[in-house]
Homo-oligomer: A and B are copies of this chain.
């Protein structure tokens, strides 16, 4: 609440409004004191309140929601198709839980103010909370999905679906299983989801952290700099090699000839034949981790073939994925479609990504007991940005089936009784909240909201104990007995 002092300062700017309010108050209400009156004055004006959502966030209106809801629903269906149950975790975690998990991305974490409690941060993804959940509950064998919002103090690019608050749809498999089986399930689920969403034209890029480590190793990168170089290579989807090379050499202190050797490798992509080629490569074969990565990659491609997703897959050595916690296979799906932005066609970017993270759960376990994990996250916001840009017609925002109208005044009671009867019979029904609205306005509301049926009552209907049912689109009318209301409406709705 605003003190008298603050208000006096504000008065120089908004004096006129303020005085008007006080005058109005003095006329209307003699019982209140002056302070209460000033508080009643529009606070927004006094404080010059900016009414907006925080930077990088947005509201979703009913039209957006009616586009988003079915997408979430379809993703849920596929997660269930692969046998996953659902869990939910809090929006914030103890700050320590997130510390040291994201490498160079840690600066983007939102912290909560210390208000005399625990130090908390908003979750940055759903993977670290999942790992915390496993460790906390001593679960070593688990599969789940979670659809929730995550938070990053990133530079927003809202038209391209990059926000500070956004949804992730995650599917993860924890447990010690046979090599690459769970990993290939994660790749297959990406394929199933993108197809289910009607986005069949996509590529899933696959790489392996051990292959990257092997490359860094044989090229001469010091072990301590593997992660930071990885985080630079990760930028190759947005920046050309020249820029990434500059970052590696100038910012990260890697020798130019080392960078050039890395460059030769990370430009490669292909299929099984590339794996065989690299396995024969004398230089790379000096690295045991590189070799292990290539063997696993070969197995993964084979399983993806069995799971009918291999036609969308490319083994791409430029894929690095910035987050620190990945230890094995990594992947990322990119739509081939583009969106027009400032008159230019630009790529939509990654719409799904993930990989293997075998050490994350162990970080939360007092005995460091490892629980190998692999998972995938669907980046729905970018998919929405694409779908919104390409939506042909506006979908309905409500599911109302019947609008109960009156053709004359003073019929609120029968309207309320009819709407209640319909709702109790599981029919979605509405009345106007103005008792005596003109019938034309009522039907127009029905038309605008694509409500299929109207029930119209007037004094003559009441007298004869009937109601008029009107098809709002065709305008066809029919009188039905009041006591057969539910049966008749149910029948008509079935036929629509």
Interface residues, chain A, CB within 8 Å of chain B?
1-2, 31-33, 35-36, 41-45, 47, 49-55, 57-62, 64-66, 68-69, 80-94, 96-97, 100, 110-115, 117-118, 120, 122, 132-133, 135-137, 144, 149, 151, 153, 165, 173, 175, 177-178, 181-182, 184-185, 188, 192, 217, 222-224, 303, 306-308, 362-368, 397-400, 412-413, 416-417, 419-420, 423-424, 426-431, 433-436
What's the nearest-Cβ distance from chain B to residue A129, in Å? Answer: 8
- The minimal Cβ–Cβ distance linking A22 to chain B, given in whole angstroms, is 14
Inter-subunit contact B144/A429 (CB<8 Å): no
Residue pair B80, A223 in contact (C-beta under 8 Å): no
Contact between chains at B423 and A32 (CB < 8 Å)? no
Contact A42 B93 (CB under 8 A): no
Contact of A53 among B68, B81, B89, B100 (CB under 8 A): B89
A36 and B397 within 8 A (CB): no
Evaluate contact between B192 and A42: CB separation under 8 angstroms: no
| A112-B110, A117-B153 known; A51-B97 Cβ under 8 A | yes
Closest 9 CB pairs of A and B: A42-B368, A62-B85, A177-B433, A306-B416, A83-B430, A85-B397, A57-B90, A111-B113, A60-B88
Q: Select which of B49, B115, B136 is within 8 A of A110 by beta carbon.
A: B115
Point out the residues of chain B lying under 8 angstroms from A303, CB to CB. 412, 416
State the CA gap A133–B58 with chains docked (Å). Answer: 10
Tell me whether A44 and B118 are in contact (CB under 8 A). no
**Does B113 contact A112, Cβ atoms closer than 8 Å?**
yes
Of all chain B residues, which has the CB nearest A370? B42
In the complex, the answer to whether A307 meets B420 with C-beta atoms within 8 Å is: yes
Residue of B nearest to A17 (CB): B368
Contacts of A364 in B (CB 8 A): 44, 49, 51
